[in-house]
Structure formats: structure tokens, C-alpha cells
């Protein structure tokens, strides 16, 4: 009986060890993702500062910028400070991922952020 108990304990220890290794691996991956996100936030911050300073130089007021931010936020129908991950194709009505430039279903150009193509 003791043999079976030891065998069962060994199996549980081995299983927990594997689970611990997987958790360590996931933690490391998440840490890497956080580093990438932090770099992107820094880049976006610099781009925003450059844009705001140039707009200020051109005479655009803070209230004009805030009104534009509010307008852009509402383009997905919600004033929540976020951009919906999907938009609706104006030609066929299917949901299209915002990262797409064209509708997957009908091929129409999708201009998800309302910016003019440069």
C-alpha cells in the first residue's frame, strides 16, 4: 500500500513541477510582452507630444484638440476612450477588423479611423 501512496505522491509532484515550469514560461512571455507595450507607449507619447506642440505652434487651441478627441472617440458609437476592434463595412454591412484596409467579404476599402489616405 505504501508503494502505491509513494507512486501517487511522485506523480503529483511531477505534475506540479511541470505546472510550475509552464507558469514560469508564461510569466517570462508576459514580461516580454509588457516590455514591448512599454516601448510602444513611449513611442506614442513622443508622437503625441510632437503633434500637440506642432498644433500649438499652428494656433490650434486645447479645446479644439479635446473636441476632436471626443469626436474620434465617438466614431465607434461609444464615448469610452477606446476604439472598437471592429468596424462595419459601409457597402455590405459585415464586421471588419480595424486593422484591415479592405472588407474581407466584398473587398471595399474600409477607412476605419476616418482619416484620409496619404
Helices (H) and strands (E) in the chain, counts: 2, 2
CB of 69 to Zn ion, least distance (A): 28
Residue 112 sits in the site that holds Zn ion (CB under 5 A) = no
CB of 87 to Zn ion, least distance (A): 10
Restricted to residues 67-96, the positions that interact with Zn ion (CB under 5 A) are 89, 91-92
40 or 95: CB nearest Zn ion: 95
Restricted to residues 8-27, the positions that interact with Zn ion (CB under 5 A) are none
Residue 106 sits in the site that holds Zn ion (CB under 5 A) = yes
Q: How many residues sit close enough to Zn ion to count as binding (CB under 5 A)? A: 7
- On whether the CB atoms of residues 73 and 80 are closer than 8 A, the answer is yes
Host H or E run for residue 95:
strand 95-97
- Across the strands, what pairs with 88? 95
Distance from C-alpha of 12 to C-alpha of 7, rounded to nearest angstrom:
9
- Across the strands, what pairs with 96? 87
CB of 108 to Zn ion, least distance (A): 5
Q: Identify which of 110, 70, 76 has the alpha carbon closest to the alpha carbon of residue 91.
A: 110
Question: Using CB under 5 A as the criterion, which residues of the chain lie in contact with Zn ion when the complex forms?
Answer: 89, 91-92, 103, 105-106, 108
Amino acid at each position: 500500500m505504501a508503494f502505491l501512496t509513494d507512486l501517487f505522491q511522485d506523480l503529483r509532484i511531477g505534475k506540479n513541477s511541470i505546472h510550475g515550469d509552464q507558469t514560469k514560461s508564461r510569466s517570462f512571455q508576459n514580461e516580454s510582452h509588457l516590455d514591448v507595450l512599454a516601448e510602444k507607449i513611449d513611442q506614442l507619447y513622443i508622437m503625441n507630444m510632437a503633434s500637440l506642440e506642432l498644433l500649438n505652434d499652428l494656433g490650434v487651441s486645447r479645446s479644439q484638440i479635446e473636441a476632436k478627441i471626443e469626436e474620434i472617440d465617438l466614431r465607434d458609437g461609444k464615448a469610452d476612450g477606446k476604439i472598437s476592434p471592429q468596424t462595419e463595412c459601409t457597402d455590405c454591412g459585415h464586421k471588419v477588423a480595424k486593422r484591415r484596409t479592405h472588407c474581407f467579404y466584398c473587398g471595399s476599402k474600409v477607412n476605419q479611423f476616418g482619416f484620409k489616405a496619404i
